Amino acid sequence: MMQADFVIIGAGSAGSAMAARLSEDGKHSVIVIEHGGSDFGPFIQMPAALSYPMNMGLYDWGYTTEPEPNLGNRRLAAPRGKVIGGSSSINGMVFVRGHAGDFNHWADQGATGWSFADVLPYFKRMETSHQNGGIGGEEGWRGTDGPLHVQRGPAENPLFAAFIEAGRQAGYGVTDDYNGSRQEGFGLMEQTIHKGQRWSTAEAYLKPALKRKNVSLVRALARRVVIKNQRATGVEIERGGTMETISAKREVIIAASAFNSPKLLMLSGIGPGAHLAEHGIDVIADRPGVGANLQDHLEVYIQQECIQPITLYSKLNLFSKAIIGAQWLFLRRGLGTSNQFEACGFIRSEAGVPYPDIQFHFLPGAIRYDGKAAAPMHGFQAHVGPMRSASRGDVRLRSGDAKAAPVIRFNYMSHAEDWQEFRRAVRITREVFAQAAFDPYRGMEIQPGADVQSDDELDGFIREHAESAYHPCGTCRMGRADDATAVVDPETRVIGVDGLRVADSSIFPRVTNGNLNGPSIMTGEKAADHILGRTPLPPSNLEPWTNPDWRETDRLQPA
């Protein structure tokens, strides 16, 4: 029988970090279970090829949502990584910590010990920040010797500088480091890319950990957690058509994504009792919060024609792609070494909002996430969307079969405020693109198009074109142990079952500001200290920047 002190389900962003930290002192054995395979090959390793792995069944679970009633009953793609490194091996490689206000809200909601002061030391521990030709970035705020390398793109295309300057001209200000003391403003975007290749958690954590004798990787489908007398004792897996059990001498840790973590809990008898009974599953712990509280970020692409031939459009032909691929393969140079998201913005939608609630990703091309040209011309685009929607969905079992995809319902845009915020986000983007900084480049608006102006017209555009930003979270919410809707306590222990934890984006009480890979890795880092019974890192006493005039204006007050 295979056994280890700790059995981790999922070799993704949090799981890989935990595997490395739980094994690094050599005192404990770790087995990581991963259904996917190797991350070897250019589709994953070349940053510019990011549109490929997310659309490949080899690397992605291939989930889709149920028809979304507020988005024209469209089924939206809901990708999650099925490969070592998990979603950090198929994502867009954008690195955002989140805003201090997000983590303080977590603590206020019962996740004691997860305020910004508590999590900042873990963000610093996990990263090596490369900025301005050196290491460390803003003094005291960034990590200098962690396993996760974070860099800025070269931003050589003049459209990146134009976007940042346009944000300043529109009154929103500029930030030198949105992952430092001040998130608010326009600035250069950061990437989990190192020496020209994707720097996933497989590279940063798992591969180094697997060189240790006390860590092993098992490729198999985790079917359920084995629970005896209210204690997790192992994991039932299927490998090559054969059922086996991996025994956990100390704990089982689920880190399988916001979709698969609640699914595994429910298959194991932990979840809403009536729902489990429907599928013939014996109830071990009736936890209504399992699978509830599902959240995400939605975004639309605002696209503008570029009257100078300087965009990615000229690189979409096969010959150019071959040149880019060869440069990357043999020299680790050129366009292939970047995800092309090299400028961004975090702004507040209106006066009275204390910290940013709209995010921009800027791209010097009018192109879809799947790599298909959205317009037969040179163009540029901003991905934009609100950060803190009140809409909530859920994840449920389709059947008691572990191989069946879960039922995923986000209930996107189910509040009137969602529509108000989205319209405002579109109009602000148009205002930014209208600034003088874009005068040398701006042609006609490609999408939504100049004829789309009224609230109803914008709502129609959003309903037809909004896409997930692929930031699902919240389905195993962390909270107080006496909170009936919480799934794990602030030490990531599943409430009602001993020897079992969940640590990944599913435990987030509320979605953070920006992309979720950074907070997911931080969760694995911090959970590892809780699992080992270590005293958490000392809280930071640094104070993040807040616009002093946030009550009066959504911009910077004129000097």
Indicate the length of the chain as a whole number: 559
Tell whether residue 24 is among the known ligand binding residues: yes
Which residues are known to be catalytic?
471
Q: Is 531 annotated as ligand-binding?
A: no
Specify the pLDDT at position 524: 98
pLDDT of residue 233 exceeding 60, the answer is yes
Percentage of the chain beyond pLDDT 70 is: 98
Number of neighbours of residue 548 by Cβ within 10 angstroms: 9
* For residues 455-483, average pLDDT: 98
Angle between helices 517-531 and 13-23 (to 10 degrees): 30
- The amino acid at residue 84 is I
Of residues 522, 480, 529, 383, the one with CA closest to residue 102? 522
Model pLDDT for residues 354-392, shown as the tens digit of each residue: 999 999 999 999 987 666 656 789 999 999 999 999 999
Short-list 512, 525, 526, CA closest to 472: 512
Q: Say how far apart CA 33 and CA 12 lie, in whole Å.
A: 10
301: part of which helix (H) or strand (E)? strand 298-306
Neighbours of 549 (CB within 10 A): 12
CB burial of 295-332 (b: ≥16 within 10 Å; e: otherwise) equals bbbbbbbbbbbbeeeebbbebeeeeebeebbebbeeee
Has 366 been labeled as part of a binding site? no
Q: Is 335 marked as binding a ligand?
A: no
The secondary element (H helix, E strand) that includes residue 245 is strand 242-254
- Is 495 annotated to bind ligand? no
User: How confident is the model at residue 55, as a pLDDT?
Assistant: 87
> Rounded distance, CA 279 to CA 402, Å?
12
Query: Contact at 8 Å (CB) between 352 and 551?
Result: yes
Q: What is the mean pLDDT of residues 146-154?
A: 97
Provide the mean pLDDT of the chain.
96
Residue 6 annotated as binding site:
yes
Residue type, 175: T
CA 129 to chain centre: 19
Select from 411, 457, 552 the least CA-distant residue to 70.
Answer: 411
Task: List the one residue out of 134, 92, 154 whose CA is nearest residue 359.
Answer: 92
Instruction: Judge contact between 183 and 138, C-beta under 8 A.
Output: no
Residue type, 424: R
Q: Which amino acid is at 340?
A: Q
Do the beta carbons of residue 523 and residue 531 sit within 8 Å?
A: no
Q: Does the annotation place 29 within a ligand binding site?
A: yes
Q: What is the number of alpha carbons within 13 Å of residue 153 lying toward its C-beta?
A: 31
Q: Is 281 annotated as a binding residue?
A: no
- 469: annotated binding-site residue? no
Place of tokens 């004792």: 233
What pLDDT score was predicted for residue 40? Answer: 95
DSSP secondary structure, 438-482, as one string: GTTTEEEEEES-TT--SHHHHHHHHHHH-EE-S--B-TT-B--TT
**Could you check whether the bond before residue 448 is cis, i.e. omega within 30 degrees of 0?**
yes
Domains identified in the chain and CATH numbers:
154-188+298-386+414-465 (3.30.410.40)
Q: Which residue from 36, 142, 157, 44 is spatially nearest to 93, judged by alpha carbons?
A: 44
| Inter-helix orientation angle 100-108/116-126, to 10° | 130
Q: Is the pLDDT of residue 29 over 80?
A: yes
Identify the weakest region by mean pLDDT among 188-192, 315-319, 504-508. Answer: 315-319
How far, in Å, CA of 267 to CA of 249, rounded? 21
Q: Cα(234)–Cα(236) distance, rounded to whole angstroms?
A: 7
Q: Give the single-character DSSP code of 192.
A: S
The pLDDT tens digits of the residues spanning 157-211 come to 999 999 999 999 999 999 999 999 999 999 999 999 999 999 999 999 999 999 9
Q: Which amino acid makes up residue 511?
A: V
Instruction: Decide if pLDDT at 492 tops 80.
Output: yes
Radius of gyration of the chain (CA): 23
Q: Model pTM?
A: 0.98
Give residue 559's pLDDT. Answer: 35
Two tokens, residue 497? 């079952």
If you write DSSP's letter for every residue of 252-291 in order, what string do you get?
A: EEE--HHHHHHHHHHHTTEE-HHHHHHTTPPPSEE-TTTT
C-alpha of 440 from chain center: 35
354 vs 385: CA distance, rounded Å: 17
pLDDT in tens, 426-444: 999 999 999 999 999 999 9
Binding site annotation covers 8?
A: yes
Residue 20 is assigned to a ligand binding site? yes
- How far is it, in rounded angstroms, from Cα 125 to Cα 278? 45
**Residue 70's closest CA among 410, 339, 385, 394?**
410
Q: Which helix (H) or strand (E) holds 138?
A: none
Tell me whether residue 27 is annotated as binding: yes
Per-residue pLDDT for 276 more than 80?
Answer: yes
